[in-house]
Amino acid sequence: MDIYALGNLLFRFATSTAPWREMTDNSRAKLTQEQKAQIAQLKMKGKTPKIPEEVLKLKSKDPYINLLLKAMEMCYRFNPKERPTAREIVDFLKVGKKDADDHVEFGRKVNVKL
């Protein structure tokens, strides 16, 4: 499994937007070849997509958003050898979901098996 790509999926879940969308003026437009090249250069320097400010504000308040962002950060580690395995991400999310479900304000107390 491509763990970096999993980080992109987690980014989309947490932010409701595709990663690197800040590179375009139109969030629905396809990235140009030039923009893709710029993104590749940023990735080679260890840069990650910018998390929208409104999501960062939720990070400290919403345990589910916080959980997704932490898992995403794990997937985006620069050195591929330092990235977790897919199993490690699943285990991290299982434990984190249980903790978030137990949170008084956000807990959903739903029996959903992961």
pLDDT in tens, 33-73: 999 999 999 999 999 999 999 999 887 788 899 999 999 99
Q: What is the DSSP letter of 51?
A: P
* pLDDT at position 112: 46
**What is the distance between the alpha carbons of residues 60 and 66, in angstroms, rounded to a whole number?**
7
* pLDDT class of 74 with cuts at 50, 70, 90: very high
What number of other Cβ atoms are within 10 A of residue 112's Cβ? 7
Parse the chain into domains and list their residue ranges.
Answer: 3-17+48-101
* pLDDT at position 104: 59
Global pTM reads 0.81
